[in-house]
A and B are shown apart, each in its own frame.
Chain A
């Protein structure tokens, strides 16, 4: 698709300077090592291959979350959103979870979505924590605005942290928004935010070499199958 760069200067939003999120490694309940690292804009087409099959899964609101995430990542890829980032989880190179968000301004972060592609390992919890860690510890923000679209998200974020309710609107829509402040984050950090740095070179190299993704049937089975973990 031809791009009119002169017009692009108008259409592309301002970007804040965003320091990188340093990768970390987390040992999961089954002993597997999950690498948590920041994705590059160029990774988006590959990441979307894992988001796409989720568009048709009604269970636990995966359809809504993945549809919105798909649009958000595409908007980032095509420079239509301000200061967005994406953090991914990989096990043996395979993409197992995605979180994203953006800077609303220098002080306030806007949490977008958390999509666990492999379930039952608290991958969503770990990645959401990484997202909050990025906003508050690396971007140096004062608070993050958050909404939940599924009961699971509500339990994981609003109750487990616990977040404070706010009247400030979130761009996800009309649902009530919640806020993670620095005080809440650092109080919750010892029980919710884990990970080792630096990541051993071999593990990081494996993750960075390629974002592998499971086939659609496998993803559907993991998310909406009969079995659990």
Chain B
């Protein structure tokens, strides 16, 4: 297997992009990544394009978007494939690109993730995401992802002592970081008083799925992000310092939560992380910065424990103690995470990696840059933990 380098990254500002079609967004992010890789218009020997997307068939009534993108980018006859894997679609697209390059079948691969969700109302977007739930035992009863997350949070609080205040710390941290990220959807820092302490918080931050409140959830966003992959051994001209994918892992858990022996146990996270660490020959303490899938604040805490950054029951306290902030033990979601950058579902897994690449290339402003970061990690969490991808990235020093 060949070691795979990320030689270019591109991301467009997430948000409500009324003026752009899904294809526009995918193309913008792709072109930025190709430019970042130093591949000019005349020299784009892209062998394959993988597009992570969950809902274009439902929301835009458009399928086979990878083929369309290849044509749009004049990359014909590159192989094209759309990868749908729920909110882990972006991570799955990266995995497919990684395997294709590592195996030797392709040398240059473009991986893009994108979603346009603000084309429909929030209700429709929530319903669209809920299509990943079980069609007989969950969806007909009105379950939504916020609903699942609310029940999970209640159990996690009871079992591990996580408090609402811990969740508030996650929201405050991530929205503060979002104000520093030009690609983030949400650009407002929250105040503890306004969302938690003041009696007015009942309106500012109402319950959405008890015990989760409005600011415990990520926004519904439009956005796209892209990577260019190639074998490290074939790098002749390095435009920017390459970052390699040192390891990845993927695991699947039961479709429904109620079938899990312990619904608070995110087994797929643990297993995927174990694979990734083994492949990277690293351990949790070797990671300098992480992007975790905080679609809900509780997930950042639970994932930080399941991946081994903290013991069970310690994740919430760690956030409160600043251990996951810049300068802390393990800075988490310095992009603002899904909570502030936004969660265009198909884009997220790719966008997480893009931000870690920025971190490992030491390109960010000092307010967001983790000093001397060398190893980074991402978790892309699909379903309600039933399909999880973990990537470990390493900075190549020379």
Contact = CB atoms under 8 A, between A and B. Distances in A.
Given A29-B194, A30-B191, A226-B13, A194 B186 contact: no
Interface stretch (B64-72, B200-208, B311-319, B347-355): B200-208
A30 B206 contact: no
Contacts of A55: none
Contacts of B202: 190-191, 194
A224 B118 CA distance: 12
Contacts of B188: 29-30, 120-121, 229
A228 B203 contact: no
Bin chain B's interface residue count: 20 to 34
Nearest to B202: A191
Interface stretch (B14-22, B298-306, B358-366): B14-22
A126 B16 CA distance: 24
Contact of A226 (B15, B189, B195, B201): B15
A115 interface: no
Contact of B193 (A27, A225, A227): A27
A229 B171 CA distance: 12
A198 interface: no
Contacts of A28: 194, 200, 204
Given A27-B193, A29-B191, A121 B204 contact: yes
A225 B118 CA distance: 13
B200 A195 contact: yes
Interface string A68-88: 000000000000000000000
A122 B16 contact: no
B17 to A, nearest CB: 6
Contact of A227 (B187, B190, B204): B187
Interface in A85-127: 120-122, 125-126
B288 interface: no
Contacts of A32: 194
A195 B198 CA distance: 10
Given A226-B13, A227-B15, A228-B219, A29 B204 contact: yes
A224 B204 CA distance: 21
Contact of B187 (A190, A191, A229): A229
A195 B201 CA distance: 11
Contacts of B121: 151
A191 B198 CA distance: 13
A192 B203 contact: yes
Contacts of A31: 190-191, 193-194
Given A29-B190, A30-B190, A229-B187, A194 B15 contact: no
Interface in A110-155: 120-122, 125-126, 129, 151
B185 interface: yes
A225 B199 CA distance: 30
Contact of A194 (B13, B17, B193, B203): B203
Contacts of A219: none
Contacts of B184: 227
A6 B13 CA distance: 60
Contacts of B199: 194
A12 interface: no
B215 interface: yes
19 contacts: A27-B194, A27-B198, A27-B200, A27-B201, A28-B194, A28-B200, A30-B191, A31-B190, A31-B191, A31-B194, A121-B188, A190-B202, A192-B203, A226-B13, A226-B16, A227-B16, A227-B185, A227-B186, A228-B186
